[in-house]
Amino acid sequence: MTPTETPSSSPPVFPDEIPTLTQDMALAQVPQAVLVALDARSAEKEALMALSSDLLENLRPEIERLTADWVQRTLQSVWDQRARTFQDVEP
């Protein structure tokens, strides 16, 4: 069995030595390092979601402009196609 890669200062960790976290596990049984890592991941996710919201809010005017332009071009294309269709019909 090969050890899982770890920093050079840490002893090698084998996969069968890594504890499995279950819902039944009491919070006190979770190692402090794992709690800190989970808190850091949670904070990172919150920061990313906040960035996402900020970006969308800042892009909203441009998105609305592009959407309006796209709708207008699509409807113009439909109208042009309809006009060609009616021109091809003989009275």
Summarised one tens digit per residue, pLDDT across range 48-78 is 999 998 999 999 999 999 999 999 999 999 9
* pLDDT digits 0-9 by tens, 22-44: 767 677 777 888 889 999 999 99
* Cross-strand pairs, 4: 13
Residue at 18 is within a domain: no
Put simply, whether the predicted model's pTM sits higher than 0.85 gets the answer: no
Please give the residue range of the domain that contains residue 70: 31-88
Cα 39 from chain centre: 19
Asked if 10 and 17 touch (Cβ cutoff 8 Å), the reply is no
Structure tokens of 39? 């808190």
Eight-state DSSP code of residue 23: T
Residue at 37 is within a domain: yes
